[in-house]
Copies of this chain bind each other. A is one copy, B any other.
Amino acid sequence: MQFIKASIITIGDELLIGQVIDTNSAYIAQSLNKIGVTVTKRIAVGDDKNAILDALSNTSKQSNIVIITGGLGPTADDITKPLLNEYFGGKLVIHQPSLDHITDIFLNKYKRPLIERNIKQAEVPDVCEVLFNENGTAPGMLFEKEGVLYFSLPGVPHEMKGLVDKYVISKIKQSFKTPSIVHRTLLTAGLGESFLAEIIADFENALPSHIKLAYLPNFGMVRLRLTGTSDNENELITNMEAVFAELKVKVQAYLVTDKDEAMEVVVGGLLRSNNQTVATAESCTGGYIGHLLSKHAGSSQFYTGGIISYDNRIKTEFLDVSTEILHTVGAVSKEAVEQMAVAVRAKMNTDYGVSVSGIMGPSGQTDEKPLGMVWIGVANKEKVYSKVLYLRFDRSRNIEVTATQAINLLRLLIINKI
């Protein structure tokens, strides 16, 4: 079996000082992986000529494909294009279709004159194949040297994605015979990584060498991923189905989904197929649960809306949490979240209500209520249920974990497990 190996080089000082988180690499890796190309290395370097040259020379020895993103903008700190031009021995020439496109964007869309910097963006090395960038002003470029394909793409995520989808994948498929890679992923909830590992130890030890198992833990939820690689696609699919079915049986009691999808997508799917709706009442998550439920296309079928009751006054005025509750047990309590879930469901006339109230940090704790103490609640027409969590992360992670746990609690109510 021939492995097609790819490396990804991301360029930009902002990546090395940590100002920007690299999401481009993940998208590129996913896209390559789907067509059976194995990403073996990702390197991030700054806007520095020697570092970029070193990364090119290091990756070109080990890869069939090198994907480079970033450094193609109109400003002086972007040095990638002249460097690639020199590396591949070309000279810079104007690419007329790109110039026409840039001119159109500036004159008709931005209603501003084209300046010299913008025109320079249409320059490309004459030794490359231009990948027309319909989403932006920096053209993509494809170079070939000693059998290795080099793609240079802009760093702006939606421009990079456009070029990957339109050109990179098809060029690779034309140039290489890629092996088949099959992934099967499932999500479990309610059991930690090491206990899960015990349950499936025999299964894991018996896996054939062309199928690997990986654990991706996330606070009480663990994603398990099987990856199989083979030249024989049909045989691999059959194999993987059998092995995956066995794994599902092993973890059945904790299984959330046998697809590679987020918790909120699982719950959205359940609601949609039941033709049911949900409303949210959020205090400490401040809208994040609403965001998770609505970020995926099609969510208007099941997500009706919510009340963000950040201030306690809003809990009373909009969700009927009595001042007595607030004065006795407080806003972070079983009583408060149960009332919130019940009220938002009734007022928004939905099948389910979800609520949260907690102390996210870094301050706000009391003697009885430590940092990270969070109540989550769910209600339908017949019943209401709540649960307390003690989280020990930073504020932003506490918000994420709370939201996912609340959505999982909703899932358990929908499937009649609570």
Give Cα distance in the complex from A363 to B296, angstroms.
12
Give every chain B residue within 8 A of A76 (Cβ-Cβ).
197, 204, 213
- Copies of chain A in the complex: 2
Closest chain B residue to A197, Cβ basis: B75
Q: Are B300 and A14 in contact (CB under 8 A)?
A: no
Which residue of the partner chain, among B18, B19, B195, B297, contacts A216 with CB atoms under 8 Å? B19
Q: Are B310 and A14 in contact (CB under 8 A)?
A: no
User: How far is the CB of A102 from the nearest CB of chain B, in Å?
Assistant: 10
Q: Which of A22-30, A124-132, A265-273 contacts B (4 or more CB under 8 A)?
A: A22-30
Binary flags per residue of A48-88, CB closer than 8 Å to B gives 1, else 0: 10010001001000000000000001111100000000000
Give every chain B residue within 8 A of A31 (Cβ-Cβ).
18
Closest chain B residue to A30, Cβ basis: B18
Which residue of the partner chain, among B40, B198, B299, B363, contacts A45 with CB atoms under 8 Å? B40
User: How far is the CB of A215 from the nearest CB of chain B, in Å?
Assistant: 5
Give every chain B residue within 8 A of A223 (Cβ-Cβ).
19
Q: Is the interface of A mostly helix, strand, loop or mixed?
A: mixed
Binary flags per residue of A312-327, CB closer than 8 Å to B gives 1, else 0: 0110001000000000
Q: Are B305 and A310 in contact (CB under 8 A)?
A: yes
Q: Are A39 and B16 in contact (CB under 8 A)?
A: yes
Q: Are A15 and B42 in contact (CB under 8 A)?
A: yes
Q: Are A314 and B117 in contact (CB under 8 A)?
A: no
Give every chain B residue within 8 A of A77 (Cβ-Cβ).
212-215
Q: Which of A140-148, A243-251, A394-402 contacts B (4 or more CB under 8 A)?
A: A394-402
Instruction: Please name 5 pairs of A and B residues whose Cβ atoms are closer than 8 Å in the assembled complex, sorted by A.
Output: A19-B225, A40-B48, A156-B217, A286-B293, A303-B310
